Amino acid sequence: MRTDAIDMGMKLAGAIIRPLVYVTLCLPAAIVIVTSFTAGESLRFPPEGFSIRWYQAAIASEPFMNALWSSTRLALIATALSLAIGLASSFAIDRFRFRGREAFRTLTLSPLVVPMVVLGLGLLQFLSWMQLNQTFTGLLIGHVLITLPYVVRTLTASFVLFDRTLEQAAMNLRAPPWRVLWRVTLPLIGPALVSASVFSFVTSFGNITLSVFLGFAGETTLPVQIFTYVEHSYDPILAAVSTIVVLVTLAVIAIVEKLVGMETIA
């Protein structure tokens, strides 16, 4: 009887709290999206009327479109590098027992723990010492650093779950190591590779702190552009741009879901 009452209470609490959490999570984005369709001159909720004029303005705005392209390019390249480095690292961490393995694992995950501002400041000094400040390479190094932990985490988890007898079976069937990797290991950790890339892309695409430190006139990422824009004007073009960012992110996730989904069916 008593446990039933507790059970009921828990269920009820769950039924109330769950929608609240979802609403709170979605509300900011929803408000921005709704506001972006305003016909008025200022960023205000609820919006005044309906129009897509701010989208036209956003698309016509060279600084925003340049920044969007910069961010996308940076996120793609950073993700590719991060995947390459992260795959190799995770493979080593999972397969080999070497001295300093734990330290190495911690090192790859450490950018998660170090506050972004500290990382940014440190990198700024380091890169100028390396004479790489104010360069795309410098910015890219920063973004690889902050995306790497997500890749390593996701991939090491998937390696732990990987059944290595499958690799032995492949070897027994005359597959040399590279063929085992290509035909068995990679396809099977494919879903993890895909989710690692999504994490990595989204992290890089949405990052602002590091980009503020490492960005420069020629290479302004979208979040930085939005941030600087907000300082002097506050018009609905921001909402329109932000909506585009949300859409890009969602599109990436959707495409990838679709790809992974197909891989599991096929």
Q: Beta-carbon neighbour count of residue 149 at 10 Å? A: 21
Closer Cβ to another protein, 122 or 187, answer by number: 187
**Span near another protein by CB under 8 A; candidates 170-178, 209-217, 222-230, 254-262:** 170-178
Helix ranges restricted to H, the chain: 2-36, 53-60, 62-95, 101-109, 116-129, 136-161, 165-172, 177-180, 186-206, 209-214, 222-232, 237-265
Q: List the one residue from 144, 146, 184, 196 that touches another protein (CB under 8 A).
A: 184
Is residue 170 close enough to count as binding another protein by CB under 8 A?
yes
Residue selected from 179, 216, 254, 261 as contacting another protein according to rule CB under 8 A: 179
Does position 189 bind another protein by CB under 8 A?
A: no
**Binding another protein by CB under 8 A: which of 42, 168, 233, 247?**
168
Span from 10-18, 72-80, 119-127, 173-181 in contact with another protein (CB under 8 A):
173-181
The answer to whether the bond into 46 is cis (omega within 30° of 0) is yes
- Out of 27, 169, 250, 251, point to the residue binding another protein (CB under 8 A): 169
Q: Could you give the 3-state DSSP secondary structure of residue 219?
A: strand
175 scored as a contact of another protein (CB under 8 A) = yes
Q: How far apart are CA 170 and CA 166, in angstroms?
A: 6
Residue type, 136: F
Which residue's CB is nearer to another protein, number 80 or number 188?
A: 188
User: What is the DSSP secondary structure assignment for residue 135, as one 8-state letter?
Assistant: S
Question: Which 144-163 positions form the footprint of another protein (CB under 8 A)?
Answer: 163
Of 97, 113, 172, 231, the one binding another protein (CB under 8 A) is: 172
DSSP conformation letters of 4-66: HHHHHHHHHHHHHHHHHHHHHHHHHHHHHHHHHT--SSS--SS-SS---HHHHHHHH-HHHHH
CB closer to another protein out of 3 and 264: 264
Q: Which is nearer to another protein, 170 or 198 (CB)?
A: 170
Given the complex with another protein, which of 182 and 216 has the nearer CB atom?
182
Region of residue 101 (left: phi > 0; alpha: psi -120 to 50; beta: else): alpha
Q: Are 55 and 36 in contact (CB under 8 A)?
A: yes
Nearer to another protein, 140 or 184 (CB): 184
Cβ closer to another protein: 166 or 259?
166
Residues of this chain that interact with another protein (CB under 8 A) are 163, 165-166, 168-176, 179, 183-184, 187-188, 263
